[in-house]
Amino acid sequence: MQIKWLFAVVIAWTFGLLMLGAYVRLSDAGLGCPDWPGCYGQLTAPDEAHEIHQAQQQFGGEIVPHKGWKEMIHRYAAGILGVLVLALTVVLWRQRQRLGLAPWLIVLPLVVVVFQALLGMWTVTLKLMPGVVTAHLIGGMTLLALLIALAARYLGRPISVLANLRPWFFVALLAVIVQIIIGGWVSTNYAGLACNDFPLCQGQITAPQGLLAALRPDRELGRDVAGELLTIEHLAAIHWLHRVGAMLVLALVGVLIYRLRNVQPRLAWALAGALLLQVSLGIANVLASLPLSLAVAHNGGAALLLGILIYGLTLTPRSARSNQSAPHFQPEIARSTP
């Protein structure tokens, strides 16, 4: 298999796994299996009568087979991704001198996969603790970003006309990363419907009370650090912060798109499409009361926007002079006619 096809498979699988993880989380199946790495002590979710009886005797509580299957499919898909990333790491390591890739950059995706497995375990053992679940989401996005950056480094060369836009790529990327973290916090705290009106949040434009308490990462799901139950105001404050972040992303990525429109119009259109899609999905989720399909798609939209920014930043040279002396290849998305 050619490396470019291996990259395509690994990146596509990672994106699909992000969507699958969002589906498992948003369909309330994150604890479909109360143990790890198996499910009620076996390799598949118990769905036969004798298996369910045995699981109840050993673990207690209600057994919901379809939730267990969702979680186990997610775990097996994650295991396959680990094998794919290992294969990519071996191939790139053997060609590291010819490709000019730093050893740490080649190994880093594999390190992230291992850490993701640990976070998956802690997600179960710590009973969906928001800080851990959000870190699991961030880890998945980080892996996707690393793979796209590696693919861009391998398949493309820096585009000198983008050199002056490098600071704008950094600013837009930072805003999107922060927004993804806040969005993950909204999702893992089940605060997606805490503001059921738009554009206001609970009829007001300012933040509801309790934002700082709701942002504490060292608390259990649904409770503050003192163990008291979170109120709807706490959850609404998280949601409100996510909306503020969305406006900031809209502004900063919008400026980058405006500056890209003449130098790389196809990249500008790709960014504009991803940004419009993500904003539309966010609004639709509120107006439609967070249907599962739109909520999962919103996660995918965030990954798409992140990936395009990482791709563009990777192909942006540190200075315009650094590439004037050498011809370079521009990937298909970056080609344009004046």
Task: Just list the catalytic residues.
Answer: 71
SS3 track for 249-296: HHHHHHHHHHHHCCCCHHHHHHHHHHHHHHHHHHHHHHHCCCCHHHHH
Cα separation, 261 vs 282, whole angstroms: 25
Say whether the peptide bond before residue 208 is cis (omega within 30 degrees of 0): no
What does the buried/exposed string (b/e) look like for 56-88 if buried means 16 or more CB atoms within 10 Å of the residue's CB?
Answer: eeeeeeebebebbbbbbbbbeebeebeebbeeb
Strand partners, 39: 42
Cα separation, 323 vs 163, whole angstroms: 10
Query: DSSP readout, 186-228?
Result: HHHTT-TTSS-SSSSBTTBSSPPS-HHHHT-SSS-TTB-TTSP
